[in-house]
């Protein structure tokens, strides 16, 4: 591949769908959207602190994160990360991306770093009971993440695991095993930090949840898992420098924003994010929140969904190939997967794969990727390919910034505020009313009347 550095955007499979002149035609709008983002003249500009985060972060707090991670590694077999949405998806995505697929399943005597488990991302009593069972009698710590401290799902989970810590260690020692990531000054968790002396880290005011993976929100759990978070930040810093300076023709993030919006204007309103490595599944989940919350408002926006191949070719492949033609695909392709294995040579052909003997599974996976691109492109589904060099912290940091920058530009390009999420509150208000939260009596009466 020519000029493959850390990430390469490949639009060659779009030739049937995008005319050569269209990139030039949308270029002035892309440049305007980028200028709105970079200058701070766009709406909600106060939420752009993530933009220079890779080079302008609190170095003292960063050192405290690394020290806290070492402390957790030394005294805990499990870290329970409590958060929902951006408060867990970034960390989960990064840990899965940077570790082998069964990292979290290894027994304690086979693992160097703590098991990272997640809670507070649902309201399932069954899930919490299963998680408690997995922890068993092992030593554990908790990292609770919430800007307000009053989000229902993590608040319930924190109460449960706070009690478990006290029951196991007593109040004084339990307090040493609680790490809080929250607002610098306000919110119930900040008050609990003051009251109990928990070690705490700050969610910057100008960083929304879906852009927060490179803040303490993501960095502490990622560091506890054994990842070099300095390399992660250095990769993001490299991307920051490149995407700020390079023109559209040389700028992978701007090209991605441009092409997906050209396709959107042609009626391709659903974007499927796809990968060929199972441990990219949560990369897709992180991307779905980033794209969905940033762009899905004002009754417009590209709908984000995902699939993991070749697995999902056996469930969604038929629809993608011959269903409604409102789909576009964005494929993230790892150029150098960390491991491989040969197809064994048996000299037999009962399973019909003798022709693959001696070839590597990655080779077969590559050919599956090439064949799917060809089939789907010929079948009426435009494909964009994002080639990523490897699964290392530096490259992941670069890729994180690539998607954050591209989606922010894409929001402005589509006349959307990419940094708010007003619709998220609607279900919460109804839930508070139905649960009988004080102050919601009128809404509850209205709901009951409409039922």
State the Cα–Cα distance between residues 406 and 337, nearest whole angstrom: 25
Identify whether the C-beta of residue 218 lies closer than 8 Å to the C-beta of residue 91. Answer: yes
Q: Would you call 90 helix, strand, or coil by DSSP?
A: helix
Residue 204 C-alpha from the chain's centroid: 18
Identify whether the C-beta of residue 145 lies closer than 8 Å to the C-beta of residue 83. Answer: yes
Which residue in 16, 163, 300, 428 is the catalytic one? Answer: 428
The DSSP letter of residue 99 is S
Q: Would you call 122 helix, strand, or coil by DSSP?
A: coil
Q: How many other CB atoms are found less than 10 A from the CB of residue 183?
A: 18
Q: Would you call 392 helix, strand, or coil by DSSP?
A: coil
293 is an active site residue: yes
166: tokens are 């006290």
Q: How many other CB atoms are found less than 10 A from the CB of residue 427?
A: 9
99: tokens are 């570790």
Q: How many other CB atoms are found less than 10 A from the CB of residue 154?
A: 25
Element counts in the chain: helices (H) and strands (E): 15, 10
Cα-Cα-Cα-Cα torsion 22, 24, 25, 31, nearest 10 degrees, comes to 130
The DSSP letter of residue 302 is P
359 is an active site residue: no
Please list the alpha-helical segments (H only) found in 48-120: 59-75, 89-98
Q: Is 151 exposed, middle or buried (0-12, 13-18, 19+ CB in 10 A)?
A: buried
Which residue in 293, 295, 329, 404 is the catalytic one? Answer: 293
Q: Annotated active-site positions, please?
A: 293, 428
């Amino acid at each position: 591949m020519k000029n493959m550095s850390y990430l390469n955007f490949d639009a060659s499979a779009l030739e049937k769908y995008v005319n050569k002149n269209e990139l030039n035609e949308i270029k002035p709008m892309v440049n305007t959207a980028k200028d709105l983002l970079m200058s701070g003249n766009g709406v909600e500009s106060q939420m752009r602190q993530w933009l220079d985060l890779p080079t302008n972060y609190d170095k003292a707090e960063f050192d405290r994160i690394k020290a806290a991670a070492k402390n957790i590694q030394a005294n805990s077999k499990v870290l329970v990360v409590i958060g929902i949405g951006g408060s867990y998806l970034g960390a989960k995505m990064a840990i899965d991306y940077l570790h082998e697929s069964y990292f979290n399943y290894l027994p304690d005597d086979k693992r160097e770093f703590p098991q990272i488990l997640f809670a507070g991302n649902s309201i399932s009593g069954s899930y919490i009971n299963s998680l408690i069972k997995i922890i068993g009698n092992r030593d554990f710590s908790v990292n609770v993440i919430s800007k307000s401290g009053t989000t229902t799902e993590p608040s319930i989970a924190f109460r449960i695991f706070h009690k478990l810590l006290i029951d196991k260690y007593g109040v004084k020692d339990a307090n040493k095993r609680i790490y809080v990531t929250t607002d610098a000054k306000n919110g119930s968790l900040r008050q609990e930090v003051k009251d109990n002396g928990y070690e705490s880290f700050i969610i910057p005011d100008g960083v929304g949840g879906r852009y927060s993976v490179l803040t303490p929100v993501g960095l502490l759990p990622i560091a506890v898992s054994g990842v070099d978070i300095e390399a992660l930040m250095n990769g993001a810093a490299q991307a920051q420098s490149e995407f700020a300076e390079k023109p559209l023709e040389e700028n992978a993030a701007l090209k991605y924003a441009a092409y997906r919006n050209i396709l959107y204007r042609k009626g391709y309103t659903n974007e499927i994010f796809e990968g060929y490595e199972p441990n990219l599944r949560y990369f897709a989940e992180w991307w779905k929140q980033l794209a969905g919350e940033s762009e899905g408002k004002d009754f417009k926006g590209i709908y984000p969904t995902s699939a993991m191949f070749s697995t999902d070719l056996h469930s969604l492949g038929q629809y993608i190939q011959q269903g409604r033609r409102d789909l576009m695909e964005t494929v993230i392709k790892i150029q150098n997967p960390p491991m491989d294995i040969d197809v064994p040579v048996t000299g037999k052909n009962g399973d019909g794969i003798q022709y693959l003997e001696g070839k590597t599974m990655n080779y077969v996976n590559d050919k599956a990727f090439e064949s799917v691109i060809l089939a789907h492109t010929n079948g009426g589904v435009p494909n964009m390919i994002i080639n990523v060099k490897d699964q290392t912290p530096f490259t992941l940091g670069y890729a994180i910034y690539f998607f954050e920058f591209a989606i922010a530009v894409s929001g402005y390009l589509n006349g959307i505020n990419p940094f708010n999420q007003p619709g998220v509150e609607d279900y919460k208000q109804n839930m508070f009313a139905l649960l009988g939260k004080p102050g919601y009596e009128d809404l509850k009466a209205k709901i009951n009347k409409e039922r």
